[in-house]
A and B are shown apart, each in its own frame.
Chain A
Amino acid sequence: MYDYTDISAFHGVWVFCEQRDGVLNTTSFELLSEGRKLADDLHTELCGLLIGDKVEDLSAQLGGYGADKVYVIESPLLKTYTTDAYTKVICDAVKEKKPEIVLIGATNIGRDLGPRCAARLHTGLTADATHLDIDTAKYLDFLRETSTIDVDSMKWDMEDKGLKMTRPAFGGHLMATIICPRFRPQMSTVRPGVMKCAEFDDIKAKAVKVEKLNLGLTEDDIKTKVLKVVKETKEIVDLLGAEVIVSVGQGISKDPEKGIALAKELCDALGGGVVGASRAVVDAGILSSDHQVGQTGKTVRPRIYVALGISGAIQHKAGMQDSEYIIAVNKQEGAPIFEVADYSIVGDLYTVVPMMIDAIKSVK
């Protein structure tokens, strides 16, 4: 009998490892790397959950990023993602094996799948966590570093081994740590690009255990029909992998073409980078949404982030404030972007950027 309230019956940390067309996404590796730390703190196993058609060969990659074991669920019906089929096999696997934690990448697919699974399993789901802790002591260190809370004047349960899932709310203005004390598994989707990937470990990759799960899945379980999957052959905007990002905001609306050209030139001067955008620029149709940085776009942490003509709504700041060095150029002296900038330049981007490009060229 499956009882979601019987907390002591649940063991192990699971990571749903998303693959599309036989290629694992990097978020899976980030989650495994993070899951490894949680499993170590709990003295338990880290298991990868690999779902698809003929995907067993990918197991070693999961091992290399920290998994002790991989549960493989294969069926031709799982070749392409459908909400119904993936929800069914994950929930059935959870009911059989009873993991205490399940992590899912907050991709378009993960955010479709996670809530459906949590509802079926009658448990909580934290959305888009950016920080996870088991040990209270480690959590308190995190609070000391990232909050103004007077940690040492408060009482804490140092023995607590529940998962503390921290996420931004209200567009990043507020951070909330969420717990799921009464039910298991503790589930969270995790923001792509936030957790750091561990070094790939060849020995662990070879040592990984594989267990195939045979769960009854039939065509009748799937209520939707995928007619086709189309990859758009647009230029890939790799904001997450970029070392340098030059983002443009409403300030370029005077002459968008020139603004974007300047941003690209500045990227080149800085040794190559990616052009990002604020929501205003994306909403105006000047750049496509894959350029968008912020709460509804991507969370980035490049070495250098240059914000050109971006006022700095909290949604935008939430997506870029962890960048190593931030340079902001804005005409408005009081623009909120200057609150997070290391270097603030009040001025017109059309004159400031060429000066920056010249100065950079002269030091190289």
Chain B
Amino acid sequence: MTHLSTIEIQDFPLWDKMKEQRKLFSFDLEITARCNNDCRHCYINLPAGDQEAQSKELTIQEINSIADQAVALGAVWVLLSGGEPLLRDDFEEIYMLLKRKGLLVSLFTNATLIRDEHIALFKKYPPRDIEITVYGATKESYERVTGRAGSFAAFTNGLNRLLDAGVKVRLKAMAIRSNFHELPAIAAFCRVHTKDYFRFDPQLHLRFDGNKERNQLIKSERLTPEEIVILEKADEERFASLQKGCDTLINDNFAHVGCDHLFHCGLGNGSFNIGYDGTFRLCSSLWAKETIYDLRQGTLREAWEEFVPKVRDMRSRRQEYLDNCRSCTIVNLCLWCPAHSHLETGELDSPIEYFCQVARARADAIQEVPQLENMKTL
């Protein structure tokens, strides 16, 4: 008789239960808002030496308490992110603390700070995976994006050391103005270095701290709707998949006419986000004051069980929103959501013209008759 069997994440009994009611599965833990890079497009990269930001960071004791509470609520998976998580001197302690609680741990890093200790740590105690962003395929473009001399060499060194050690690494890229010319080379770089995964993201959102100067920089890095469509069409596999899923991306049923709820995504259903300063948010982009719960003043259970339902029940009376985004049939092709609306306008329910333009361009493109043979391969 077989008493022991492996279980895949997708087979977890939790999924069936989640169909019936909200069940916690995962959470993101931003352990710092600081970063050693200064990426032009980034929404959370305070300077590495920012002492005020550092003083607000969760202590190891606070992280331990939050992790205990998350595990008690049933959390299975945690994503460590930032800022750059490896900037914290106590990173290894935090990582092991989470592992020892039986959590699967994933990590977002730029890989530039990988040291011997990290390699030894990840070899002995493997992460679920490490996701690294490739900002450029050459020193020039990479460092134009990161704003830091020497970062390309540090990145390639860190990445190669992780790969040589057999650590599971996934690569991704942001498609922005500064590296647009190099995206085919970035895609090739990613595919040479990892087999199972590569994705790029052209949709930049604004900063958590509302820094106007930096937000202007992010806007200047955004691609035009036409460029985004060209990019998507150039990835044959991805674009064919979009076209195949056309009915699930564009559908009259998406128009929630008569419904004034703000949130129609899955946020807060199976996951949440913990900010570097102990703020509990329903997703990493949601920074509106009225949607944030301070874990330094309360408990995770209260946040999860009482605060989340209140946020999910928030409604809009703005006719411009109800007549547009709320009743939009291509909303699944759009970056728009209440969180991004707040970052752009300070309101949770304002349409954003740039997002509309991108969504319309993407919708037009995927509804075209496929002419894949004419596309340049990315």
Q: Do A and B bind?
A: no
